[in-house]
Amino acid sequence: MSREELDIEFKEAVKRVNAHTEPFPADTLLKLYAYYKKATNDYGRPKSKEPIINAFKTNALFQAKNVSEDEAKQNYIDIVNNYFLYRE
């Protein structure tokens, strides 16, 4: 898959997640959060009002620290596709 195709699929996966109205499992959300941050090179600190949530987000980012931007996009796409595959 070309980088352009990967970018298109990633943006489509993000749209699916944003359009989904039911809550995601917490572990799925944390993975999506970490891979999204890595894929978009957004290294800002977590901004939740709850310190425990910030700790979980920081841990998720730490676990994804050695993942490249393209790997993060592919991982995000895979999580979204698998989640919706088993939901339908």
First to last CA, the chain: 26
| Joined tokens for residue 5 | 């195709």
pLDDT tens column, 32-86: 999 999 999 887 778 788 888 889 999 999 999 999 999 999 999 999 999 998 7
Backbone angles phi and psi of 22, in degrees to 5: -90, 155
pLDDT beyond 90 at 87: no
Its CATH architecture, for the domain 3-87, is Up-down Bundle (1.20)
- Cβ partners under 8 Å of residue 70, min gap 6: 3, 6
- Alpha-helical (H) ranges within 1-88 are 3-19, 26-39, 51-63, 69-87
Alpha-carbon Rg for the chain, nearest whole angstrom, is 13
**What tokens were used for 81?**
């596709």
Q: What global pTM score does this model have?
A: 0.91
- What residue spans define the domains of the chain? 3-87
